[in-house]
Amino acid sequence: MANEVKKIALLTGGGDCPGLNAVIRAVTRTAVLKYGYEVIGYKYGYKGLYNNDIVPLTLDTVSGILHKGGTILYSSNKDNLFEYQVEENGKRIKKDVSDIAVENLKKEGVDVLVVIGGDGTLTSARDFSRKGVKIIGVPKTIDNDLAATQTTFGFYSALDVATEALDRLHTTAESHHRVMILEVMGRNAGWIALYSGLAGSADVILLPEIPYDIERIADKIKGRGKNGKPFSIIVVAEGAKPRDGEVVVSKIVENSPDPIRLGGIGNKLALDLEKYIDDHEMRCTVLGHIQRGGNASTFDRILSTRYGVAAVELIHKGKFGNMVCLKGDEMSYEHLENVIGQNKVVDPEGELVKAARSIGVSFGE
């Protein structure tokens, strides 16, 4: 079965993150050097599969991209081919165009499609797998919120950015005796906030998983002032919310599998806190897409390479319909049917949260 494979294709979907190019490189190099497969890429995610927008992937085209952020194949987080926006009779309607994509794969002679993406992209991968397409999934997201894998690539690169931002905020907070708030990404999971908050010695970490009480945050800041620390650092996850409130939505992106974009809680928090703290000024920094840009961290370059190699090994073994994942220290895999919609969030009573509480970090509880 394994030696029937001659040609494989790759696509990257959803929000980008550092490490995508490292996966593309590792898949291509392993496929070409170890198994002699031909490799092509579809540009702009599933949109390229629909439009047959192809680029050959060779040892040459993937040279020099290991460290680079972004994706040489480009990405889209809107193009679900099972509900694709098309224009018919002057009207925009949603249509299932997945058969066209399957036809394109056949015409191109593609035996296996490697899909690199988060939950939305991998949901379509599962649906193509159900239609008989031989698929291998590779998990990516800075949010680290996919349950089937211990760590997604991109997460540690985002953490490096957030941690450096906190280090920088610390020095200016101390000079001006201010309260500095850093809003980080992560959707409905608090991993980026928790890890960067610990690494960047935040005084308060606010997570979607632990709704906060504004008065407890004020107590923490005042307590620090009494102890000779007249400045404080707060990391707030974009999905955090007050105990009696809601998340802050920054925009709705039509056609996106998950249309809600979070953002704005940092500034809301600053305004709310000002009512309780009158001896410190507040400033909020929203880190935004800086967390998704730039070079991949050392850890992510290695993890992405391992994911890419493992994806091709699955192809060689004929284990289609699976997603590669990291379990403990080992590369492993899990069937796509079991990974979709299985989000991983921070356990409020988990070891890391408890460790943070032990060293005096407040979660605004």
Residue type, 270: A
Q: Binding of ligand F6P at residue 15 (CB under 6 A)? A: yes
Terminal Cα distance for the chain, rounded: 56
Neighbours of 184 (CB within 10 A): 32
Nearer to ligand F6P, 176 or 261 (CB): 261
Number of residues that bind ligand F6P (CB under 6 A): 14
Candidates 186, 200, 242, 266: give the one binding ligand F6P (CB under 6 A).
Answer: 186
User: Strand order of the sheet with strand 179-184?
Assistant: 204-206, 232-237, 179-184, 282-286
| 126 within 8 A of 338, measured Cβ to Cβ | no
Q: Binding of ligand F6P at residue 122 (CB under 6 A)? A: no
Q: Binding of ligand F6P at residue 261 (CB under 6 A)? A: yes
Nearer to ligand F6P, 100 or 249 (CB): 249
Nearer to ligand F6P, 66 or 161 (CB): 161
Nearer to ligand F6P, 220 or 292 (CB): 292
Relative orientation angle of helices 265-274 and 214-226, to the nearest 10 degrees: 60
Q: Binding of ligand F6P at residue 141 (CB under 6 A)? A: yes
Nearer to ligand F6P, 252 or 359 (CB): 252
CA gap 304, 307 in Å, rounded:
5
CA gap 204, 361 in Å, rounded:
6
Closest approach of ligand F6P to the CB of residue 178, in Å? 26
Q: Binding of ligand F6P at residue 187 (CB under 6 A)? A: yes
Candidates 24, 262, 270, 309: give the one binding ligand F6P (CB under 6 A).
Answer: 262
* Binders of ligand F6P in range 217-256 (CB under 6 A): 238, 253
Nearer to ligand F6P, 24 or 142 (CB): 142
Neighbours of 186 (CB within 10 A): 30
Using CB under 6 A, which of the segments 52-60, 68-76, 179-187, 220-228 binds ligand F6P?
179-187
Using CB under 6 A, which of the segments 4-12, 51-59, 180-188, 338-346 binds ligand F6P?
180-188
Candidates 79, 143, 160, 300: give the one binding ligand F6P (CB under 6 A).
Answer: 143
Q: Binding of ligand F6P at residue 30 (CB under 6 A)? A: no
Candidates 22, 66, 101, 142: give the one binding ligand F6P (CB under 6 A).
Answer: 142
Of the residues 16, 143, 145, 300, only one is catalytic, namely 143
Neighbours of 365 (CB within 10 A): 12
CA gap 320, 87 in Å, rounded:
34
The residues, any chain, with a CB within 8 Å of residue 166's CB and separated by 6 or more, are 182, 196, 197, 199, 200, 201, 202, 233, 235
Q: Binding of ligand F6P at residue 185 (CB under 6 A)? A: yes
Listing DSSP states for 255-312 in one string gives T-SS-EEE--HHHHHHHHHHTT--SS-EEEEE-GGGGG-SPPPHHHHHHHHHHHHHHH
CA gap 80, 101 in Å, rounded:
11
Instruction: Decide if 143 is catalytic.
Output: yes
Listing DSSP states for 234-250 in one string gives EEEETT--BTTS-PPEE
Which residue sits closest to ligand F6P, CB atoms considered? Answer: 185
Residues in the site for ligand F6P, rule: CB under 6 A?
A: 15, 77, 118, 141-143, 185-187, 238, 253, 261-262, 292
Residues noted as catalytic:
143
